[in-house]
Amino acid sequence: MSLQVVDGLQEHDRSNTPWLGPEEFVRAIAAFFCHPTELVLGCETAQQASERFAKTVAEVTGRYTEQNVVLLPHGTVLSLFVSRATGMEPFVLGKRLGLPSFVVLRFPQLELVSVVEKLMAV
């Protein structure tokens, strides 16, 4: 087993965004998902973040076709990717994902196996 940091799997770039309160952040994220081709939050559109992330996922999983691959992305790009693959609404999925949570997809067909919304502490 190996661990790699891979450029392209990072969260939606919001490096230019000041701190937003919880309600304002939720409104901004909703607008981000509703207007994917418009720059409504941060430095990249939802479409740009989605395409960057999907391209990198394809490159990484293409290198390890006979192995299980675990990606550790943030929720926004994960929601974009899963919604693109499954038709799920990205804002709804993003709101479901707790900390920590994960999604299991079967590759290469990108079939949704499960969404684990929150891990229980033991």
Give the pLDDT of the chain (122 residues) as one tens digit per residue: 788 999 999 999 999 999 999 999 999 999 999 999 999 999 999 999 999 999 999 999 999 999 999 999 999 999 999 999 999 999 999 999 998 999 999 999 999 999 999 887 66
CA distance linking residue 54 with residue 57, whole number of Å: 5
Domain ranges for the chain, please list them: 22-116
Quote the tokens at residue 67: 């192995």
- Measured torsion, CA atoms of residues 97, 102, 105, 108, in degrees rounded to the nearest 10: 110
**94 burial type by CB count under 10 A (0-12 exposed, 13-18 middle, 19+ buried):** buried
pTM of the entire predicted model: 0.92
